[in-house]
Amino acid sequence: MERLLEGLRLFGSALDVRDTFTSLHCGRTEALANELGVQCGLSGAELRTLGLSAHAHDIGKIAVADHVLTKEGRLNPQEWLAMQAHSERGYHLVMEIDDDDTDVVAQAVLHHHEAFDGSGYPAGLSGEAIPPLARMIAIVDAYDAIAERRSYHGARNHAQVIAILNGENAHKYDPYLLVHFNSLIASSKFRAPADVG
């Protein structure tokens, strides 16, 4: 675990220099993932692995071109494919670290954009074929990403984010985990504000 911790710390430092916005998002995603893991009864060792995976989930954005990573406005189809590649690039970066826990973390990084109905990427996995840690990260990653202002949408309040997660996007998430997330987020310090603007 020590080699993995050190390797991910170095990658995290590089991401912070490259894109502070994404680095901060990774920190919030880690914190929310930990809360979800506690809610689901994960062991201490499982929580550590989940936290590392969540903090590293966007590490592949180090390798995304600046004109895509920092573009104002929506990405065109070619740019979107380049952005989607961050999960595979992150997987390969993590796999460079020689540690017994590397594969579990790398698999979570690779599959955090898979959708429960099979509509996600990069492999189109569905249901329980998606690694459990990736299914957890998918929910907390989406919550923070939807809440924060992006170049293609404004900041959203808590009620708006929850409506999206449980409405138009509900097909993307493990329903069991989504119930647990809905239970914890109301009292989380990482909950989006009630009002934005």
Percentage of the chain modeled with pLDDT above 70: 97
Instruction: Spell out the domains of the chain, with CATH numbers in brackets.
Output: 2-185 (1.10.3210.10)
CB contact at 8 A, 79 and 71: yes
Predicted pLDDT at 151: 64
pLDDT tier at 155 (50, 70, 90 boundaries)? confident
Tokens of 19: 């894109």
Tokens matching residue 48: 């550590």
The pLDDT tens digits of the residues spanning 18-73 come to 999 999 999 999 999 999 999 999 999 999 999 999 999 999 999 999 999 988 88
Q: Is the dihedral of CA 165, 169, 172, 176 positive or negative?
A: positive
197: pLDDT strictly greater than 70: no
Task: Name the residue with tokens 């009620």.
Answer: 159
What percent of the chain clears pLDDT 90, i.e. is strictly above it?
Answer: 87
pTM of the model: 0.95
